[in-house]
Structure 1
Amino acid sequence: MQVKLKLTVAAAMAVGAGLAVAQDVQVIKIGHVAPISGAQAHYGKDNENGVRMAIEDLNAQNVVIAGKKIKFEIQAEDDAADPKQGTAAAQKLCDAKVAGVVGHLNSGTTIPASKVYNDCGIPHITGAATNPNLTKPGYKTTYRIIANDNALGAGLAYYAADALKLKKVAIIDDRTAYGQGVADVFKKTAASKGIQIVDEQFTTDKATDFMAILTAIKAKAPDGIFYGGMDPQAGPMLRQMEQLGLSNVKFFGGDGICTSEIAKLAGGAKTLENVVCAEGGASLQKMPGGAAWKARYDAKYPGQFQVYSPYTYDATFVLVDAMKRANSWDPKVYIPKLAETNFKGVTANIAFEPNGELKNPAMTLYVYKDGKKSPLN
């Protein structure tokens, strides 16, 4: 009887210890927002994959914060590249009290969402939205780990003027915060370099027929066309340029068109060979951990890589790094540590300016050779 009693007590103690261990696991949710539906879903899925991969890697590290073993989870939301859905998704993450957010993809969704995050006191880091206006309000909750449009638009304009010696360019933008912003920087910089802006046309981020605006541009005989927008429009635009005999006209764009997907969307058009696009950040080959990271990504998510997943991966780690240094996942406690970030990421050594912009951002120009995206610098 005594032996049985001892065994029962021991068993009860073991169960109690097990419960204590279980209770010591703290779940921390990190939000992610991007378009997972609609024409830009390929970007959004790539971004989300980057966060999922980071969370898997962090959970494998058995992170301990404030004496508790941490289990990270993603709360993924779809904003369909729509500003209203973007703010609704941001509010949903605020209500869920996530510890931090990686997102959004588009400047047009990130800028209005940034106010929602500021008002509820949750930090967000974008690895994709590039409009400089994002950091202008000076929110302590807003961070960007990629070069902004001032670098991208200007870099392309310098290349057009200095390397290609272009004299006349036309500009098209899709009227979104991103497309308009990057086109505006290109236009101002190109004009300052003596390039004549012969035409300006506008479209939307839903359009697929550009024959009318391209016909109007053709009459002005430009050496190049700059398009401020994303690849679901740039691909068909390249096909239609070929149909109109604009086969020798250079085609410029920011990171929104700088994808592997554009080669498919251009449907074999020879004009793809005239594309020069810019991405904020080093090429994968020149990123500190780019090549090894990309091999792991491709094994996990074959054929899904686009542009920004290395940045969303790093953004997730940067949030957690600040939590670790603050010994807290409470945004009020760890936000000040975000401002002091000095993190060796896959994409770069990440540190922030006082306004939340990345310090010393790199920029890379790309062209397409045999349908494959290749870095120029």
Structure 2
Amino acid sequence: MQSKLIPLALALAFAGSAGAQQVVKIGHVAAISGPSAHLGKDDENGARLAIEDLNAKGFKIDGKAVKWVLVPEDDASDPKQGTAAAQKLVDARVNGVVGHQSSGTTIPASKIYYDAGIPQISGAATNPVYTHQGFNTAFRVVANDSKLGSTLGKYAVTKLGAKRIAVIDDRTAYGQGVASEFAKAVKGPGVSIVDKQFTNDKATDFNAILTSIKAKNPDLIFFGGMDSVGGPLLRQMKALGIKAKFMGGDGICTEAMPKLAGNADDIVTCAEAGGVLAGQQKNMDEFAARFKKRFGVEVQIYAPYYYDAVMTMATAMANARSADPIKYLPYLAKVKYQGITGPIAFDNYGDIKDGALTLFTYKNGKKTLLEVVK
């Protein structure tokens, strides 16, 4: 089954002879500690599975044997720790980086990679700023917040019939970004944003902001942030008797959300910054099965995108016949790779072209697909 996941472009670079091996180091950074650790480990395991597949197939670059090594770092979703982790990877002379996980760490780290000339592909960071800084080393394989927030805003009004909407964000680059884009898209006859509140990404008590919101009688509350805050926020919202629907981006769109919230069934609508159409679902299902067999847990969100990020980087190296960042970077900018998550190619900013979004709700404690939006 593994061979089905390696495209022809990569297969041509596989094969085998035994000789001296070049070591190619791929850095990965995410929150492996802290409240978002379950998401960071998901990303890391996706990258790790790609590394294992490349090694199992005997990947070669320019006819020479290659040994792939994953160099993982933990940024704990903290910008200072993120830049420190980035500098460690630069000092380790990695050939490329897949990460970071959060926009708040990805954006400051991207300057360090740019200054060092090291290509970076994020499989999760969605804030538009990341790829709009003029750094030719910055890429992402998921849609950005402009698309995610605007899609959710339109869906809230046209499909959920929301009229009175409250918005909460966690003051992070990701949370503020997606909440801002959502608010811009909330338009229509009789539709209004009745309250805007903010918390932080480590908060546990939301009584004050929810009491304020309850007085405005919203029929939908949008939260920009992660499930570690969004889950308890929803739990307290229900305890206060607020009957509104709950909506958010990919940060709350996890398998852990129902447990964190107590119950999310028919209350939550969320979106992942990625998605596969019907024709690609078989590959995604096969990946999920292999992932669970290898790591003993279900895919949370972005493991397949980090798998594809590694494979996309490998494709660029194969095309350039070199793992030297200076030599393969131009090939990465014009790469075309058929991934598990769909076709990957980048626009002039480094954003994925024609990125998809997947809308979900929850039924019986499980994420349930609503639709894929291109």
Give the TM-score normalised by the residue count of structure 1.
0.91
The code of the aligned residue for 1:254 comes to G
Q: Which residue of 1 aligns with 2:321?
A: 327
Residue 176 (structure 2) pairs with residue 180 (structure 1): yes
Residue 231 (structure 2) pairs with residue 227 (structure 1): no
Q: Which residue of 2 aligns with 1:10?
A: none
Choose from 102, 112, 115 the match for 1:116: 112
Where 2:26 maps in the other structure, the secondary structure is: strand
Choose from 50, 55, 58 the match for 1:54: 50
Moved over 3 A (4+): 191-194, 283-288
CA distance in 2 between partners of 1:263 and 1:372 (Å): 8
Residue 34 (structure 2) pairs with residue 34 (structure 1): no
The code of the aligned residue for 2:40 comes to G
Where 1:290 maps in the other structure, the secondary structure is: helix
Tell me if the contact between 1:191 and 1:197 (Cα under 8 Å) persists in the aligned partners.
no
Structure 1 74/23 Cα, relative in aligned 2: closer, same or farther at 3 Å?
same
Query: What is the Cα deviation at residue 22 of structure 1?
Result: 7.1
Query: What is the Cα deviation at residue 305 of structure 1?
Result: 1.9
Q: For structure 1, which runs of at least 5 residues remain unmatched after alignment?
A: 1-20
Query: What is the Cα deviation at residue 303 of structure 1?
Result: 2.2
Residue 340 (structure 2) pairs with residue 353 (structure 1): no
Q: Which residue of 1 aligns with 2:255?
A: 260
Q: Deviations over 1:43-77 (max 9, x none)?
A: 01000000110000011111111332001000000
Following superposition of structure 1 onto structure 2, how do residues 290-309 of structure 1 map, counting pairs within 5 Å? 290-309=284-303
Stretch of structure 1 that moved more, 277-286 or 60-69: 277-286
CA distance in 2 between partners of 1:189 and 1:129 (Å): 21
The code of the aligned residue for 1:334 comes to Y
Tell me if the contact between 1:283 and 1:375 (Cα under 8 Å) persists in the aligned partners.
no
The code of the aligned residue for 1:256 comes to G
Q: Which residue of 2 aligns with 1:12?
A: none
Stretch of structure 1 that moved more, 155-164 or 170-179: 155-164
Q: Which residue of 2 aligns with 1:100?
A: 96
Choose from 96, 115, 125 the match for 1:129: 125
Structure 1 293/284 Cα, relative in aligned 2: closer, same or farther at 3 Å?
farther
Residue 304 (structure 2) pairs with residue 310 (structure 1): yes
Structure 1 30/241 Cα, relative in aligned 2: closer, same or farther at 3 Å?
same
Choose from 72, 84, 87 the match for 1:88: 84
Where 1:376 maps in the other structure, the secondary structure is: strand
Rg (Cα) greater in structure: 1
The code of the aligned residue for 2:58 comes to N
Following superposition of structure 1 onto structure 2, how do residues 228-243 of structure 1 map, counting pairs within 5 Å? 228-243=224-239
Q: Deviations over 1:265-315 (max 9, x none)?
A: 112x3x542100011111586645211111111111222421000000000
Query: What is the Cα deviation at residue 27 of structure 1?
Result: 1.1
Choose from 209, 227, 245 the match for 1:250: 245
Q: Which residue of 1 aligns with 2:167?
A: 171
Where 1:256 maps in the other structure, the secondary structure is: helix
Tell me if the contact between 1:284 and 1:290 (Cα under 8 Å) persists in the aligned partners.
no
Where 1:153 maps in the other structure, the secondary structure is: helix
Structure 1 157/339 Cα, relative in aligned 2: closer, same or farther at 3 Å?
same
The code of the aligned residue for 1:358 comes to I
The code of the aligned residue for 2:89 comes to L
Q: Which residue of 1 aligns with 2:337?
A: 343
Tell me if the contact between 1:42 and 1:304 (Cα under 8 Å) persists in the aligned partners.
no
Where 2:329 maps in the other structure, the secondary structure is: helix
The code of the aligned residue for 1:215 comes to T
CA distance in 2 between partners of 1:207 and 1:114 (Å): 27
Where 2:186 maps in the other structure, the secondary structure is: helix
CA distance in 2 between partners of 1:352 and 1:155 (Å): 21
CA distance in 1 between partners of 2:313 and 2:100 (Å): 15
CA distance in 2 between partners of 1:72 and 1:326 (Å): 17
Structure 1 134/194 Cα, relative in aligned 2: closer, same or farther at 3 Å?
farther
Percent identity between matched residues is 56
CA distance in 1 between partners of 2:340 and 2:62 (Å): 27
Tell me if the contact between 2:75 and 2:81 (Cα under 8 Å) persists in the aligned partners.
yes
Residue 273 (structure 2) pairs with residue 277 (structure 1): no
The code of the aligned residue for 2:313 comes to L
CA distance in 2 between partners of 1:365 and 1:37 (Å): 28
Where 1:273 maps in the other structure, the secondary structure is: coil
Tell me if the contact between 2:204 and 2:232 (Cα under 8 Å) persists in the aligned partners.
yes
Where 1:204 maps in the other structure, the secondary structure is: coil
Query: What is the Cα deviation at residue 129 of structure 1?
Result: 0.3
Query: What is the Cα deviation at residue 219 of structure 1?
Result: 0.2
Query: What is the Cα deviation at residue 195 of structure 1?
Result: 2.2
Query: What is the Cα deviation at residue 194 of structure 1?
Result: 5.5
Give the TM-score normalised by the residue count of structure 2.
0.92
